Amino acid sequence: MKLKKLNRESLVQDLDYDLLIVRWSAIFASALIYLLAKPERNMLVPPLVVLLILVGFNIPVTAYIWRYKPFKKKHFMWLLILDILQGSFAVAATGGYDSLFFVIYLLSISEAGVCFNWQTASAWIVSIDGIQVVTTTLHRVAMGSNVSTYAVVSRFIRLLIVGLIVIMLGEILRREEKTRYHALLLSAHLKILNDIFSKFGGARFDKERIFDIILSGVELVGDVEYSIVLFQEENGKGVWEIEATSRPDMYAKGYKINNLRCDNSNTFLFRKHIYDTDINPLFFMRNVNEVIVIRLADYNDVNKGLLIIGKKRGANTIEDEEFFLKTLALEARLVLHNTFLFIEKQRQIKRLDEFKEVQTTFFSATGHELKTPLTVLKTLLATLELTIKEPSASQKEIFATLENNIKRLDNLMTDILDTARLETADIKLNKKPVDIIEIIKKITAAMQPLALKRKQSITFNTNNAPLLVYGDAKRISEIVSNLLSNALKFSPRESKINITVGEESDSMVVCIYDKGPFIPEPEKERIFEKYYTASKNKALAGFGLGLYIVKHLVKLHGGEIWISEKQGEKGFCFTVPIYREDKYGEKEQL
């Protein structure tokens, strides 16, 4: 569907029918006046004969107008001349100045007034008025009557006044029609643009599809010889590359253009032999007489794009086409801007993923490599302790320091390896029904030496009845161990750590509370992030991997973890699914 063109001389669609009404009204008005007045002086031809001639002439004229609508199609010049001649004949044959067929001249004046612009219509009406003056004057001279200057001038002025009224009416009709037609045209163009915008939405940030939609939209303008999309090369100064083309036989995709000069406006137009020196002559090849250049994208210094359209005809691009192309370019700029943003974000995400992959590989390899020397150090330390039967106090302190630091390094390597496995989805859970009470009791017993050393107490009130959850016993033990270790580390000496277990819907809720410092509100959202440490005490702060690992292990079990605060205590709570035989299958031997 091509764009419709706005015709500035267009009138209402029923103009031909309206002028037919005026035509026959003038004829019947003249006939009625003669029937009532019955004048008989200065007649060359009987009025009835003239009336029959007029009717006989206008019947085929009416049939032609009804079928071909010449006034609407602007093919009416010969009809206007014939109507002037028939008016002059009727007036001259039936009394000249005294003829009541004088009304026929009003038909010609009406046609000229509504069919031409006011300048041309004025010239025609003055000419018609002059013809009637000549006709009536010659008739009086031929009949030997005196010519009254006052009568001739007064009729001339009266007809001019009538003509002025008709011109004003024609201008009003013309402006109303232009407004109405332009509104309809604008509505049709907006509908097409809306359809194009919908297609842009369906392109899903595919640059090639967006270019194809732009070029297909340009083709709707009509008289388009070619349309191409160019983008400036990333590292090429003034070098433009064709990204899309409607005429690959003329401009191949990938073709590079140098020294393309254009200003910074969004839309500019060049015409052959006038402004073609401001643009590469390549675009004026063949029968192209007009080149329209529209800026497509200016996302950054790299993504600069142009839409270049070559048109066949030499006339200026008309207003509605310019509006359509500007709006199309505006839509395209918006879509391309978002597309380049999306592409840039995709590149950043890809680079980030590559960095994470390298980072994970590095930490995994480092962890494995450090595990071996740590094992050797553990063995050497144990051997050294056996070698010295009665170590001194200073030797015992050295052994304890070595053991603590080797253990700390071992825990760090374990955390690094677990983090790498979590991020590569390499950890597989061995889920089965396990007793959460038994797990907590074992971890508590293992942590008692550390608690006693700091004069801390661990409280876990339970009736020793098994509470079965569905999960991996090893990983649940890691979760409890990590949280309890943090509670002991960050709680003051001689404080109490409370562990609670309770059911909530289909989940078992485990909470570990301590008397340590409360976590500030801004840090609560970040506490589970990788490498994040909330403690300002560098001696207590770790590497920020423990809670990160805990959160991921809880998620792998389908549970949740959060910070809980109550009655002067703060702690961490997490959930694991309660074992249901009807949901997870038969119970295995625990």
DSSP state for residue 101 in the 8-state scheme? G
Tell me the three state secondary structure of residue 561: strand
Distance CA 303, CA 309 (A): 20
Residue-range domain boundaries for the chain: 15-181, 207-347, 432-584
**What is the CATH code for 207-347?**
3.30.450.40
- For the chain, residues with pLDDT lower than 50 are 6-12, 273-277, 315-317, 537-540, 589-590
CA distance 113 to 47: 28
| Residue in the structure block whose two tokens are 């020793």 | 464
CATH code given to domain 432-584 = 3.30.565.10
- At 551-570, the pLDDT tens digits run 989 999 999 999 998 887 88
φ, ψ for residue 74 (rounded to 5)?
65, 30
Structure tokens at 47: 């009025």
CA distance 307 to 244: 10
How far, in Å, CA of 498 to CA of 280, rounded?
81
Query: Residues 405-428: pLDDT tens digits?
Result: 777 777 777 767 666 666 666 678
Under 8 Å between Cβ of 371 and 379: no
Round to whole Å and give the CA distance between 515 and 574: 19
- Measure the CA angle with vertex 573, ends 570 and 579; round to 5°: 160
Helices (H), 38-103: 47-68, 77-93
Rounded distance between C-alpha atoms, residue 473 and residue 557, angstroms = 11
The H-assigned helical ranges of 203-279 are 207-219
Residue 569: strand pairing partners: 566
Other CB atoms within 10 A of residue 433 CB: 21
Q: Is the Cβ–Cβ distance between 164 and 121 less than 8 Å?
A: no
* Rounded Cα–Cα distance for residues 152 and 471 (Å): 115
User: Does 432-584 match 207-347 at the fold level?
Assistant: no
* Residue 94 confidence (pLDDT): 82
